[in-house]
Copies of this chain bind each other. A is one copy, B any other.
């Protein structure tokens, strides 16, 4: 009696082995393209596998080989083109080497992130990528003790858990404000979310506040657009509130291009000329920034590059080429558009440098 009766479940390697007249070890080797299998034998095995409709069971292989080929990744939202781009960069960089990205989203909620990370770690990923530098204490502990490479992205945390591929959101906005102040803008507002939920948004506002204080300007023009993430619609509503309350504002810096575009449409509805009457800037270099009329002045944080670099880093850490955690600094770039005019200046930093480091502190 064979172990497997007809219809008792999908065929296993043992079934293929029997059909091909070899041992299941030989089947295993043949399917993995291990050099040490005779060409004829391999052909017979592949043929048998095809005939039986054999499908490799990655679960069993993972258990025995202690190798899942999973890379876990969490993003705040799957509906955001910036994060989607990062996932794309990550996936494309990893798929070529046979890794499968195991994706989850947190809805910008640290408690949800904790649950998600816990779930994902049970799958025994080879590495894990998370967004942002702020996490619950338990999340930090889980990640630190997981014994796998950890990469934080889209941020430069003060105390990284492991590696980092990111940039300072505060610095990026501060640099933008510097440019606008140099161009003569004074009455500048910031339009963002009101909660501490979106930590990157909060960091951007902090950069705004810091810059305004530095230049001795009034930083009280803060418009909250509701619970993050701020959509186009909420950006428009917040802009309406701003125009009603502080109509003499010269420039509105928005937490993202989506909010900025919403703000732009509100101006269009009111017949206000952008940038003549009021200027608008965004963040993220979303598609809309390059096509809207006028185009949006924004900051490109190179989302896809973040993913690509994270993938590269993980591959290095896994194959031993890279040892120890790395901080990869992404240099966001100001992209002047028609919504907030800036005089030409010599190019902002273009290179995205990678620096190795021992102690965990941002370069």
The reply to whether the CB of A276 lies closer than 8 angstroms to some CB of chain B is: no
Q: A287-B233, A293-B268 are in contact. Are A63 and B59 (CB under 8 A)?
A: yes
* Cα–Cα, bound, A85→B68 (Å): 28
Inter-subunit contact B268/A291 (CB<8 Å):
no
Q: Are A53 and B145 in contact (CB under 8 A)?
A: yes
1/0 contact trace for A265-307 toward B, CB 8 Å? 1001100000000000000000110111100000000000000
The digit string for A139-156, where 1 denotes a CB below 8 A from any CB of B, is 000100111000000000
Contact with B along A332-352 (1 / 0, CB 8 A): 000000000000000000000
Whether B78 pairs with A88 at a CB distance below 8 angstroms is yes
Q: CA separation between A293 and B269, bound complex, in Å?
A: 7
Taken together as a complex, chains A and B put the C-alpha atoms of A146 and B11 apart, in Å, by: 11
Say yes or no: is A124 at the interface (Cβ < 8 Å to chain B): yes
Contact with B along A112-132 (1 / 0, CB 8 A): 000000010111100000000
| Extra contacts besides A57-B122, A78-B84, A258-B287 (4): CB < 8 Å | A59-B68, A101-B103, A261-B288, A269-B293
A interface with B by C-beta (< 8 Å): 10, 53, 55-60, 62-63, 68, 78-79, 81, 84-85, 87-88, 91, 100-105, 119, 121-124, 142, 145-147, 231-233, 236, 258, 261-262, 265, 268-269, 287-288, 290-293
